[in-house]
Amino acid sequence: MKRFYPQLLLYLVLPVLLGSLVGIFILAPVNEFSDFHEHRKFYADKYGDSALPFVAERMQEIFKGQSPWKIVFYTSVGAVLGLVSGILYHILGKRARQIEQLQSALGQDVLTLIAGGESGILEFKSTLRWDLNKNEINRVLEGVVLKTLAGFMNAEGGTLLIGVGDNGQIEGIEHDYPTLKKRNQDGWEVALMTLVSSKAGTANCRLIQPVFHSIGGKTVCRVIAAPAGQPVYITLDGSRRFYLRTGGSTRELDVEQAVDYIASHWS
């Protein structure tokens, strides 16, 4: 639970407190000022043409507790505005980080990535479903792709290059084309996103961005996975599983490990 309190303070408690102060010290005086000018003729005898004495007197009444309903009203309105602002800031900030990560990933040359080899945020897969050794469709390979993407999303994001062998050799995703209903790049992309949607959830498709590159007459797909805002599970062999990218590998966490990680990473 180590990340719970800082996030709660930043996105909920602090905005509510600041919003409450705004309600009392900004919204209340502005509303009283507006009330004075709207009903100037009723206050002219006592306050003249200046709204400052009127506003000052009303604010004193509020702070002395003579108008408790005003305190409740202005603090409540301010708190709600602060809470909404905090939530929007959190959402927009997370989206901005995802865009920044995507731009950073796209800014890297594919050949440079391949030359650097696999790492904690980069992995190679020869194909999506065609087994180059057995020369046949192998659905297990699809599961391996899913595990890798889920592991990236459950960590800090990463890039999966499909069409590149473990040794960095360009294989191309064209090997998969004959296995598809639509035997081209578009059909391959549909197959990838359908796989993610059916096994990891449609909502998580928004975290996956495939980008295609032609290298030496062969096509490589750079699949950029953004970090998820909540746990991503994939369904394999009828059971939901949790994978995490650690170091240069993707591993499955057992229930206890997954619970501990989820509590520290997203709470």
Whether residue 129 is found in the same domain as residue 193: yes
71-121 tens-digit pLDDT: 888 888 888 888 888 777 776 776 666 666 655 555 468 888 899 899 999
Q: Are 184 and 177 in contact (CB under 8 A)?
A: yes
Sequence-distant (6+) residues with CB within 8 A of 119 are 248
* Average pLDDT of span 146-169: 95
Write out pLDDT tens, residues 39-65.
Answer: 877 777 777 778 888 888 888 888 887
Q: What is the mean pLDDT of residues 16-27?
A: 84
102, 166 contact by CB (below 8 A): no
Last residue of a domain, one of 39, 62, 91: 91
- Mark whether 210 and 157 lie in a shared domain: yes
Mean pLDDT to the nearest integer, 239-264? 94
Look at residue 8 in the predicted model and tell me its pLDDT.
Answer: 53
The verdict on 128 and 229 lying in the same domain is yes
User: Which of 91, 117, 135 is the C-terminal boundary of a domain?
Assistant: 91
Domain count, the chain: 2
Same domain, 37 and 150: no
Token pair 């865009």 is at which residue? Answer: 99
What residues make up the domain containing 84?
4-91
Which residue is associated with the tokens 């598809």?
180
What is the pLDDT at residue 182? 94
Proportion of the chain above pLDDT 70, given as a percent: 89
* Whether residues 156 and 235 fall in one domain: yes
Question: Residue 164 CA to chain centroid, in angstroms?
Answer: 28
Are residues 69 and 167 both part of a single domain? Answer: no
Question: What pLDDT is attached to residue 106?
Answer: 58
Looking at the structure, do residues 182 and 75 belong to the same domain, yes or no? no
Distance in angstroms (rounded) separating the CA atoms of residues 119 and 159: 10
Of 92 and 128, the structure prediction assigns the larger pLDDT to 128
Give the 3-state secondary structure of residue 97: helix
**Does residue 98 sit within a domain?**
no
Listed residue (208, 125, 119) closest to 172, CA to CA? 125
**Helical pair 52-63 and 68-106, crossing angle rounded to 10 deg:** 90
